[in-house]
Amino acid sequence: MTAGDTVRLSSMVQRTIVVVSALAMLLFAVPLAVVVGGLYRGEAQEHLARDAERSRSVLTPAVLAQPSTIPSVLPVPHEPTVVIGVYDGTGLRIAGEGPARADPITGRVSATGVEESARLGSELVTVVPLTEDADAPAAYVVRAAEPYALVQHIVWLTWALMAALALAVLGLAAALARRQARRLAQPLQQLAESAAALGQGDFSVRPNRSRVREVDDAGRNLELTARRLGGMLERERAFSADASHQLRGPLTAVRIGLEASLLTPGADLRTSVQDALSDLDRLERTVLDLLALARDTRRATECIDAGALVRDVVQPWSRRLADAGRALITALDDELPGALVSPPALRTVLDVLLDNALTHGAGTVRVAVRSADQTVIVEVADQGEGLPDPTSAGAEVIFTRRSPDARGTGIGLALARSLIEADGGRLEVTSRRPAIFAAVLPAVSSPQPDPAGRTGTRSSAG
């Protein structure tokens, strides 16, 4: 989403909110305006009816008998704009103000004796009969009238105030719409920029929280995706280094074995080739293990026989140590519980520890498997000079990846620890002189065969 897209989105949101607000006010204001107009008209008619009733109350038969006295007894209307007129049965005005001859409304009331109120031309008129008998014609009627323009003026003034209030509300709605549009558009723009950065390979994107639930959900999902992709890429990058580290020694051994067979007179070439093929099979399994470990962030652990796996792994290493004039011995406890670990991870860890013992250690290498406190412990020890003293510089960096103080590449032990910890175990140094590394694995007391025929149960470790 570009800056132009953000502006267009913001404008669309503002227009939508303002239009909806205007429609809502229109639907409410139009009926209200009609009601207000009717209310003011009805109020004016009530005032006219009261003035007419007051006049009727003083027009007694004695007063009507002397028409000349009528003007003196007519009460003053409440409003100076109201005019009062008294008409006889012939429709002639005999007192007060108004048309000289009865208008249609006055004539009907005189004929029917029923009170009427209506707008007549430019006036609002109310006519009441003087007779008490509603079924008999009225000999006299009282007409009260007021200019309708006065009522219309009040109605228009009220409508103008309502319109001004509506404009003020629309202005407030526009301001709130602008704020809301900015609140929605800016997080979306940031989210789009973060997605674009992720597409360009920036896996450190962390969208800001906007307090808009949907946008924040999308931001969290984008952040999780960035973390997963970053972790995947990091594992793929580390794979080449890990593979190089794990394959360098076995490839060198294969090469040395084949060259030695070629240079040694009378050497059994068939045996040398078979040994090389066995080493290549092991290399292939190492590559597959590394691929599985590099690509699976949550791999399936198995309840395995750690002793059997150790015997399988140490067999080729025994030959390599023998070629270097060193011995390898194994010590396995009887009735070991199952170890909960990924077989590729444990094989890789053992390869790392045995390669360290071969490269940096000395004397006999001892691999022991024992159980203690619901764990299975796999130890690798040698008789070399051991590790630096805990108080010396560089003593605590042996598990740091690519540490500048490492004696080798700085990859192997860091890789081994990460693999063990990913399976819920831990890799420790139990002795520095002589050097003893211990892989502590969760134990399962009663391994059960799984459907594929392997011994053990499965669980998840991440």
HSE, CB side, 13 Å, CA atoms: give it for residue 81.
Answer: 12
pTM, full prediction = 0.44
Q: What is the pLDDT of residue 242?
A: 57
- pLDDT at position 64 is 82
Q: Which residue has the higher pLDDT, 5 or 52?
A: 52
Strand 328-332 to 365-372 pairing: parallel
Bridge partners of 140, per DSSP, are: 88
Q: Which of 70-84, 125-139, 270-284 ranks highest by mean pLDDT?
A: 70-84
* CB contact set of 368 (below 8 Å; sequence gap of 6+): 330, 331, 332, 377, 378, 379, 381
Work out the pLDDT band at 461, boundaries 50, 70, 90: very low
Which pair of tokens denotes residue 108?
């009907």
DSSP for 202-262, written as a single string: -TT--PPP-S-HHHHHHHHHHHHHHHHHHHHHHHHHHHHHHHHHHHHHHHHHHHHHHHHHH
343-360 and 306-323 helices, crossing angle to 10°: 30
Phi, psi of 449 (to 5 degrees): -65, 140
Q: Which of 53-67, 251-265, 440-454 ranks highest by mean pLDDT? A: 53-67
Greatest extent of the chain over all pairs of C-alpha atoms, in Å = 165
Identify the band that residue 330 occupies on the pLDDT scale cut at 50, 70 and 90.
Answer: very high
pLDDT of residue 324: 86
How many other β-carbons are positioned within 10 Å of the β-carbon of residue 227?
14
Q: Tell me, what's the pLDDT at 382?
A: 93
pLDDT score of 359 more than 80: yes
Quick check: 460 pLDDT over 50? no
In this prediction, residue 202 carries a pLDDT of 74
275: phi then psi, degrees, rounded to nearest 5: -65, -40
Residue 243 pLDDT class (50, 70, 90 cuts): low
For residue 17, the SS3 value is helix
pLDDT digits (tens, 9 = 90+) for 407-434: 544 467 877 887 788 778 899 998 888 8
Q: Integer distance in angstroms from the first to the last C-alpha of the chain? A: 36
Top pLDDT among 257 and 27 is at: 27
Task: Give residue 306's identity as a one-letter amino acid code.
Answer: A
Amino acid 375: pLDDT: 92
What pLDDT does 445 receive? 67
Q: Is it the case that residue 66 has pLDDT exceeding 50?
A: yes
Q: Which of 320, 253, 257 is nearest to 283 (CA)?
A: 253
Contacts of 432 (CB under 8 A, 6+ apart): 386, 387, 388, 389, 390
Quick one: average pLDDT of 60-84?
A: 85
CA–CA separation, 380 vs 350, rounded Å? 8
Q: CB under 8 Å, gap of 24 or more: what pairs does 170-179 form?
A: 170/18, 170/21, 170/22, 170/25, 173/17, 173/18, 173/21, 174/14, 174/17, 174/18, 176/17, 177/13, 177/14, 177/16, 177/17, 177/18, 177/21, 178/10, 178/14
Contacts of 191 (CB under 8 A, 6+ apart): 1, 207, 215, 218, 219, 222
In whole angstroms, what is the distance from residue 349 CA to residue 293 CA? 12
Residue 132 confidence (pLDDT): 58
Q: Read off the pLDDT of residues 128-181 as tens digits, 9 standing for 90 and up.
A: 998 755 455 567 899 999 999 998 898 999 989 988 988 898 888 888 888 777
Residue 453: predicted pLDDT: 42
Range name among 174-178, 312-316, 411-415, 450-454 with the lowest pLDDT average? 450-454
pLDDT value of residue 4: 61
Query: What is the percentage of the chain residues whose pLDDT exceeds 90?
Result: 16
Identity of residue 328:
L
CA angle (298 as vertex; 369, 204 as ends), nearest 5: 125
Find the helix or strand (DSSP H, E) in which 428 lies.
Answer: strand 426-431
- Give me 269's structure tokens: 């070439």
Cα 303 from Cα 444, distance rounded (Å): 7
> Residue 377's pLDDT band (boundaries 50, 70, 90)?
very high
Position 99 scores a pLDDT of 92
- Predicted confidence at residue 381, as pLDDT, reads 93
For the stretch 17-32, pLDDT in tens is 888 888 888 888 888 8
Reported as a single tens digit per residue, the pLDDT across 173-217 is 888 888 777 777 667 777 777 777 777 777 777 777 767 677 778
